[in-house]
């Protein structure tokens, strides 16, 4: 445990403090663990679900373990320079451990070197640093999921639906599925890899595919909606399916489809993440399925690692961890 926070808090820190559990007086004889959590952008629907899970999990862990945990959540608002500055502040304040959702996943080296100099362990999550960076220090961990497996499970959902509802899906009966593709951010491990694995699984399952169009909509609802509006204007009823790298963009496409002009179109929409809004859309029969990107499981792994590393302990065993990388399994969600 490092020295206590001392004097007045930085204006910056006032942004989002969570002191999970009791006040200092009530627990003055217990240890205090100070954790900094940085999100690449909290406007992202899945990241905002992760924040909620992390919040709950830190509170639960504090109750279970003899330790007062103070967590400071920061939003880097899509700017790596802002995030670097926030990390610098945490290091100056001598926090015990930092949990980092990088803005630019190729930009971890300098952050790791700073952490190492100050001996403050780092748990990266959701946006995976390249392996050369992870190898820079043995107090660096990553928690996420296996992008290829996520895409494969999407492909399975698609195949299952196709088998049961071939005529509904292949509207023009040409033996091909004409689809449009909503991709996440360029350079993100969960974009191109999910796409490739999903399409490969569908093709290997014996279904011929024809891509009408595809574009990066950067994980965003609004951008997904905008792209879909353009494709509807261009291809209309020619579109048979929408494959999306995540739920937020898929939900945006659904909103575009809600326009009265398109009310009669039958277009099957497939997402990934399993956020509440997508689960509701599946129940209503508006999406054929999604893949659960297990925010709760990932939060549990992050919090357990942070609690151990922050107390200078060797991390307890964690399922699905190999070489300091935890890949929490995905799961299929359909009706
Ligand atoms: C992915 C998730 C996306 C988005 C992205 C942000 O794993 O599926 O919805 O949140 O992370 O890095």
**What is the CA(5)–ligand 1 centre distance, in A?**
33
Residue 155 has a pLDDT of 98
| Other Cβ atoms closer than 10 A to 162 | 20
Which residue among 38, 44, 49 has the greatest number of ligand 1 atoms within 8 angstroms of its CB, and so is best to mutate?
44
**What is the CA(3)–ligand 1 centre distance, in A?**
35
Contacts 24+ apart (CB under 8 A), 124-131: 124/99, 124/100, 125/50, 125/99, 125/100, 125/101, 125/298, 125/302, 126/40, 126/47, 126/50, 126/101, 126/298, 127/40, 127/101, 127/102, 127/103, 127/188, 127/189, 128/189, 129/102, 129/105, 130/105, 130/106
Distances (CA, A) of 117 to 87, 113, 120, 168, 208: 13, 6, 8, 60, 54
Reported as a single tens digit per residue, the pLDDT across 123-158 is 999 999 999 999 999 999 999 999 999 999 999 999
Reported as a single tens digit per residue, the pLDDT across 90-127 is 999 999 999 999 999 999 999 999 999 999 999 999 99
Cβ(159)–Cβ(205) below 8 Å: yes
Residue 15 has a pLDDT of 39
> What φ, ψ does residue 138 adopt, rounded to 5°?
-85, 5
Q: Which of 239, 196, 244, 197 is nearest to 217 (CA)?
A: 244
Ordered structural domains, the chain, with CATH:
7-145+294-329 (3.40.50.2300), 147-292 (3.40.50.2300)
Reported as a single tens digit per residue, the pLDDT across 252-300 is 999 999 999 998 999 999 999 999 999 999 999 999 999 999 999 999 9
Helix, strand, coil: what percent of the chain each, to 5?
40, 20, 35
DSSP state of 260: G
- First CA to last CA distance, the chain: 48
What band does 38 get if pLDDT is binned at 50, 70 and 90? Answer: very high
Which residues have C-beta within 8 Å of that of residue 260, sequence separation ≥ 6? Answer: none
Query: Average per-residue pLDDT in the chain?
Result: 92
Residue 214 has a pLDDT of 98
DSSP H helices, the chain, are: 11-14, 45-64, 80-92, 109-118, 131-134, 147-164, 166-169, 192-204, 221-235, 247-257, 276-283, 295-310
Which residue among 198, 224, 246, 327 has the greatest number of ligand 1 atoms within 8 angstroms of its CB, and so is best to mutate?
246
130 CA to centre of own chain:
17
- Average pLDDT for residues 217-229, to the nearest whole number? 98
Q: Which residues line ligand 1 (CB under 6 A)?
A: 44, 46-47, 126-127, 188, 190, 219, 246, 248, 272-273, 293
What band does 31 get if pLDDT is binned at 50, 70 and 90? Answer: confident
Residue 146 has a pLDDT of 98
DSSP H or E segment with residue 176: strand 176-183
> What φ, ψ does residue 202 adopt, rounded to 5°?
-65, -45
Q: Is the pLDDT of residue 24 over 80?
A: no
Residue 4 has a pLDDT of 35
């Amino acid at each position: 445990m490092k020295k206590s926070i001392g004097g007045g808090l930085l204006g910056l820190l006032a942004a989002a403090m969570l002191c999970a559990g009791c006040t200092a007086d009530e627990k003055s004889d217990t240890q205090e663990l100070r954790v900094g959590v940085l999100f690449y952008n909290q406007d992202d629907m899945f990241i905002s679900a992760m924040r909620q899970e992390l919040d709950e999990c830190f509170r639960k862990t504090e109750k279970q373990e003899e330790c007062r945990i103070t967590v400071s959540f920061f939003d880097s608002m899509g700017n790596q320079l802002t995030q670097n500055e926030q990390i610098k502040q945490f290091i100056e304040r001598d926090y015990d451990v930092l949990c980092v959702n990088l803005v630019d996943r190729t930009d971890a080296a300098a952050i790791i070197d700073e952490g190492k100099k100050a001996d403050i362990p780092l748990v990266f999550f959701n946006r995976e640093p390249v392996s050369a960076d992870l190898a820079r220090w043995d107090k660096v961990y990553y928690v996420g999921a296996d992008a290829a497996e996520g895409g494969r499970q999407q492909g399975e959902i698609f195949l299952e639906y196709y088998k049961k509802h071939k005529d509904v899906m292949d509207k023009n009966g040409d033996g091909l599925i004409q689809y449009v593709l909503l991709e996440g951010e360029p350079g993100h491990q969960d974009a191109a890899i999910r796409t490739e694995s999903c399409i490969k699984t569908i093709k290997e399952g014996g279904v011929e595919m024809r891509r009408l169009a595809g574009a990066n909509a950067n994980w965003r609802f609004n951008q997904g909606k905008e792209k879909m509006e353009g494709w509807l204007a261009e291809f209309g009823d020619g579109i048979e399916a929408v494959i999306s790298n995540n739920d937020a963009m898929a939900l945006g496409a659904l909103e575009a489809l809600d326009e009265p002009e398109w009310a009669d179109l039958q277009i099957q929409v497939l997402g990934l993440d399993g956020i509440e809004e997508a689960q509701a859309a599946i129940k209503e029969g508006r999406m054929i399925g999604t893949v659960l990107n297990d925010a709760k499981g990932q939060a549990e792994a992050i919090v357990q690692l942070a609690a151990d590393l922050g107390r200078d302990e060797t991390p307890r065993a964690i399922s699905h961890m190999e070489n300091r990388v935890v890949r929490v399994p995905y799961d299929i969600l359909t009706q």
